[in-house]
Each structure stands twice: as C-alpha cells, then as structure tokens.
Structure 1
Amino acid sequence: MWMEEGLPDFFDIFSWKLVLIVLAAFIIRAWLKGTQFKEKVTAKALVAVVTGANAGIGKQIVRELNLRGAKVYMLCRDKQRGLQGAAELVHLGCNSSRLIVKEMDLTRFASVRQCAKEIQQEEKKIDILINNAAVMLYPKFKLTEDGHETTWQTNYLGHFLLTELLLPLLKAAPSARIVNVSALAHFYSEPIDVSTVDRRERWDARQAYARSKLAQVMHARELTRRLRRDEASSVTINACHPGLCYTRIMRHTPLAITPLKYLAAPFAWYLLKTPKDGSQTPICVAISNKLNGVSGKYYSDCQEKACAEMAMDDDVCQTLYNSSLEACGLGEWDTVSDARED
C-alpha cells in the first residue's frame, strides 16, 4: 500500500546507492592509478637501455619505448627470463628487431662491465638510459662478491657503474637522458654514511632500501653538476618515483606470503599501481619534450616535486659520488674514461 502512495521503492533506492558506490570506486581507482603520460612524442631512431626489463615496470617501459620507435636494450639478470619477456612483448605488438636482450647482474661488477662493453661495441650512441631494476626489503644482510651490501649494490652502485661506463655513448647522442627510478622511500632514509653502509651492524632492510633510493636522487643531482661543468655536454639526468606498484618487487614483503598473497591480491590490485601505471613517470622523464634540458630534478606523477632535504646537500652529494667511484674501482671523474679501459 505504501508503494501506491508514492513512497520510494526499496529496490530503487538500493540500485542508486549501488551505482554511486561503483562510480566512487572507479573514481578512486583512477586517482590511485596516477597520472598517465599521453604526450604524443616519438622515440624513432633512439637507442634506449633499460635495466630490470623482463618484468614489472621495466617491461612496460620497454614496451612503450619500442612502440614509439626506439631500439631498446633489455638488461636482465636472467637472460632466459629476458628472452621470455621479449617474446611476450612481441606478442603485444613490439618490433622484435628493436629488442635486444643482454644479461647483466647488478650484484656483480664484472657482469656490469661485460654488458657495457658489449653495448659499446654495438652502438655509437645511447639516447636513453633508465636505471630501473631494484630489490626491496631483501630479508637478510648479505655481501656481494664485490664486497658490498646487496641492496646497496643492486639499487645504487651497480647502476652508478653502468652509468659511468655508458657516459661516452650518452655524450655522443645529440640530447641524451638518464633516468634513475628512485622511490618515495628516499624521504625516510637516515643520512648515508659510506663508511658503514656495507657493515652488518645496525643493518635494517627498510633503511637499506630507503638509503639506496636516496643515493639515486643524490646521484642525479651531483652528476648534473659535473656534466654542466662541461659546456659541450647535452646529457641530462633526473630521478623519479614511479608510485607503489604491485610487481615482483613485492616478493620480499608480507604480501608475497601464502596464503596472505591470495587474500590480499584483490586489495593490492585495487590500491596499488599496475606495472603500466608505474611506468608512466619514468617514460615521461625519458622522452617528454617538456623536459628538454632539465636535469637534477625529482619527479612523481609526471610532475616535478621536491625531493628529500638530505639530497639537496651539495657537499654530501659530492662525497657520495667520489666514494662511489672508489667503490666501483674507477678513478677521478675527469679521468674516468681511462679507468674504464683497465
């Protein structure tokens, strides 16, 4: 009888509430995905090098650059996984002739040197270098064969060495860009003490990760200063935060523990960025026309953002750079080309 008197039908109210809930969920999800890079810019005839390229963000970066016309070197710790990743990219429309898989283990300086040597023999210039590979919350303290803490060498020192080795090819390009894929975690790092970074005492997995990401931002700022001493150099380097993504970088977190990973998967998918979402800012920093000539900056969601205050200390950045040269077995920066030939 109440329906005949014009009172609202329960099911009508329920259906409208459901529509609003679904709409709100989509809006929140779109916001969580972050800014999408939509600038129409080509990468035709460019040569790019991407680390950690067989999965996650790296794989999506490779895909986007290849589809835009670039020749991309996929640097992967496991070559078979790299080849599998390349095959999957070809299935998604990439040009196989512009995908080159190289084996490179960042925890082994000898492997980094060998990979760089092969690229030097094959290319006359490099237009884009994206230092993307990373490990997060590695569960135990461990030294590499080079005597460095695993997270420190994987995320920072290995990439530092690779960058130094490839600098001559980057300088040979008309306008080359280096992108250090850092993380928001760099804000939470304690000050970097190079004298204790490889020691077991007071080692903490969270600080190891945050410290390595802070170092990547500091690397971008200090290398910018050094490159700008050379007026002829057109190389730029910036750091960026891709966002918190649901990729294999989570493999050492509670989200990877069975059965929690199955229970958390739907929530992780909804709340965290996909690999494609996470690739948007690194791609933007690598090819956006709006960033021509910009160097030494930090980006998030395709926008320049302020980095941690510690990364703004020029003296500390310089000290870190010099100690990194020493740790990688390189000489003074001005004579680093000679050191590479050893």
Structure 2
Amino acid sequence: MEDTDESTSLIIYILYVAIFGGLLTVLRHYFKGAQFNEKVTAKDKVAVITGANTGIGLEIARELNLRKAKVYMLCRDEKRALDGKATLVRMGCDPTRLIIEQCDLANFESIRNAANAILKAEKSIDILVNNAGVMFYPKYEKTIDGHEMHWQSNHLGPFLLTELLLPALKASPSARIANLSSMLHLQSDRIDVSKIDEKKEFGLLKPYFRSKLANVMHARALTQRLRKEGTHNVIINSCHPGAVNTELNRHFFLANLFKTVGKPFMWFFTKTPRDGAQTPLYLSLSKKVDGISGKYFSDCAIKSENVLALDENACEDLYNYSLETCGLQK
C-alpha cells in the first residue's frame, strides 16, 4: 500500500512538473512574438541598415545577408562595426556582401558622407532599415548640429539619411523602408517643433516618446508625398520590434543591475535581438506587405498607432520642418 501511495505521488509530481513546464513554454513562445518564416530570397538586393553592428540591427543584417543580399552596415563606431562584421561572418554570413560605412546619426555631415559613398557605389537601393537610435540618454545634451540628442539620433538623422537615399530607392523596382519606432510612441504628447530642442522639454522618457512618434509620422507623410507624385514602387512603414533585451537600454541607470540580478527575468520576459528583428524583416521582405505603406506594425501585423499620427496636416508640417532643419531644399 505504501509503495502504491509513493507511486501515485510521483505520478502527480511528474504531472505537475509537465503542466508547469508546458505553461512556461507557452509563455516564452508568447514573449518571443511572431516569427518571419516566409521563404523569400533577397538575392541581388541592396540593403542599408543603421546600427548594424549589434542587437536588432546585427540580426537584420545577418538574415538579409544569408538570404543573399548585399548589406551596407552603417555604424557610428568603425571598430565596433568591424567587430560586428566579424561576428556576422562567424554566424555564416558572406563577408564580401557586408560593407561598412561610418555613420553617426547625431552628425549631419557624417550622414551625408555615408549616403554619398553608397550612392557612388550603387545605382539603386532595395531596402533601408532605420534601426539605430538612443534611449534613456542620461542628460540634456545637444548634438554638433544643435539638436537634442534623442531628437536628432532618432528622427532627424534617419530622416536625412532617407531623403538622401530616396533617389536610389526610387530606382529600385520595389523598395522597402522600415522605421523602427516603439509602442511607447503611444505615450507621446503632440510634437511642438518650436520647443523640441529646449532644455525644459527634456525628461527621462518624453524625448524618446516624441522621437518614436516622429518615426510613425515620417512614414505616413512620406507615403503621401510619394503617392501624390505618382511613385508607387517605394513603400515605407514603421514598427514596434517588441520589448527587446539590447544595448538600447545601456544609458538606463539600473542597466547594470538588470544585467546581473535580473538576467534570468530579462531572458524570459523580453525578446532576443533575433526575435526583435522579425517585424523589420517582415516589412523588408514579405510579399504580404506589397502595396501597404504608411502603416504601423508590431508582431508582423498592422496595429493602431497614436491618434496624433493620423493628423495629416501635423505629419506634413513635421516633414516640412524636417526638410528645412536638415538643410534640404524642396
């Protein structure tokens, strides 16, 4: 009788462990988010990715290279770019289709130099992923061009790069632009460009919120402009890659604590960089996105954006301001 009771207890224990393990597996799958599994080649395509030496950018570069694309890695630090390229080669990438260009989004001259180098080498560009950005920048600081760090790094820099590369994107039979925004753009208030660079507007997260809203508005406004001029072969969308454990959080004052004490929790409850790359890859390659432009995506599906981004006049005003601020005459 005693042996029977022990056997029953063991079976119940194993059953509980199996159920608990199954629940953890389901939860982990949920936190990983949607995966881009379409069998789409990128052969002969030219892709440009900012921040391609680490995190989400590195994983996007990896996947596009493995799918046979030529990838321009736009990185602020050349040494880290070389380290990132070496990592990609170890992951199976073809080094002859990985080209490094130094590009600091907080420096307009650096952006122009990188764009000029690419345009000299390529007649057309098929994919542009505006991935790089900053978050939790610890202090109010202006760039060399006189703009608040989040605002230029996350909006004005990518905006200028996109405009400079637009002629080559238009020369592609079918070009894709993906702006990496964030679901935190939903927390942004209305963007007042007359005050955007002022110190009194600075805070721990407000500058980030506004810059990510600008990414969504940029995609909508550029779509409207392209369609009005009769250009239909270029589409641009924005996306939330998910809560991803990357170096984007490096400026957060509790970052080191999370890296040590919270590491197991971060692993379980956040996406890996590869998971975070799935929606940008979806926007870059999926046939399901053909003809869809100016939308906001998350987990490989269209989602509702901040209502402020639906104001076409506000989007157009932001676009015109950005043209003028970046020194572009149109």
> Scaled by the length of structure 2, what TM-score is found?
0.97
Question: Aligned equivalents of 1:255 and 1:205: distance in 2?
Answer: 13
- In 2, Cα distance between the equivalents of 1:232 and 1:76? 30
1:52-72 per-position Cα deviation (integer Å, ceiling 9, x unaligned):
100000000000000111000
**C-alpha separation in 1, matches of 2:56 and 2:326:** 26
Which residue, 261, 268, 271 being the options, matches 1:270?
Answer: 268
1:61 maps to: 60
Give the Cα separation in 1 of the matches to 2:115 and 2:134.
21
Cα distance in 2 for residues equivalent to 1:67 and 1:136 = 30
Q: State the distance in 2 between where 1:126 and 1:20 align.
A: 50
Report the Cα distance in structure 2 between the residues aligned to 1:109 and 1:40, rounded to whole angstroms: 37
Counterpart of 1:170 in structure 2 is: 169
CA RMSD between the two structures:
1.3
Q: Provide the residue aligned with 1:224 in structure 2.
A: 223
Partner of 1:45: helix, strand, or coil?
coil
Matched, 1:21 2:2: no
Letter in structure 2 aligned against 1:122: A
Q: Give, in whole Å, the separation in 2 of the partners of 1:29 and 1:300.
A: 17
Pairing of 1:1-342 with structure 2 (within 5 A): 1-4=1-4, 9-258=8-257, 260-332=258-330
1:309 CA displacement: 0.4
Q: Deviations over 1:213-249 (max 9, x none)?
A: 0000000000000000122441111001100100101
Kept in 2, the 8 Å contact 1:255–1:264? The answer is no
**Aligned-pair CA distance for 1:11:** 2.7
Gaps of 5+ in 1: 333-342
Q: CA deviation at 1:2?
A: 4.6
**1:241 touches 1:299 (CA, 8 Å); kept in 2?**
yes
SS at match of 2:239: strand
Pairs aligned (count): 330
User: Matches of 1:171 and 1:66 in 2, distance apart?
Assistant: 22
Kept in 1, the 8 Å contact 2:195–2:201? The answer is no
Counterpart of 1:85, as a letter, is G
Structure 1 segments of 4+ aligned residues over 2 angstroms from their partners: 1-4, 6-12
**Which amino acid counterpart does residue 190 of structure 1 have in structure 2?**
D
**Once the 2 structures are TM-superposed, how far is the Cα of residue 19 of structure 1 from its aligned partner?**
1.5
1:113-139 CA distance string (max 9 Å, x none): 000010011110000000000111111
Distance in 1 between residues matched to 2:167 and 2:217, nearest whole Å:
21
Structure-2 separation of matches of 1:321 and 1:41: 33
Q: Deviations over 1:291-330 (max 9, x none)?
A: 1121111110000111110000001001101111111111
Aligned partner of residue 221 in structure 1, secondary structure = helix
Matching residue's letter, 1:310 = L
Please say if residues 201 and 207 of structure 2, whose CA atoms lie closer than 8 Å, have aligned partners that are also in contact: no
Counterpart-to-counterpart distance in 2, 1:58 and 1:94:
14
CA distances 1:70-102 after superposition (whole Å, capped 9, x unpaired):
000000000111111111111111111100011
Give SS of 1:64's match. helix
Structure 2 residue identity aligned to 1:220: A
What's the CA shift for 1:7?
A: 7.9
How many angstroms does 1:15 deviate by? 2.0
- Distance of 2:101 and 2:199 partners within structure 1: 32
Distance 2:290 2:189 in 1: 33
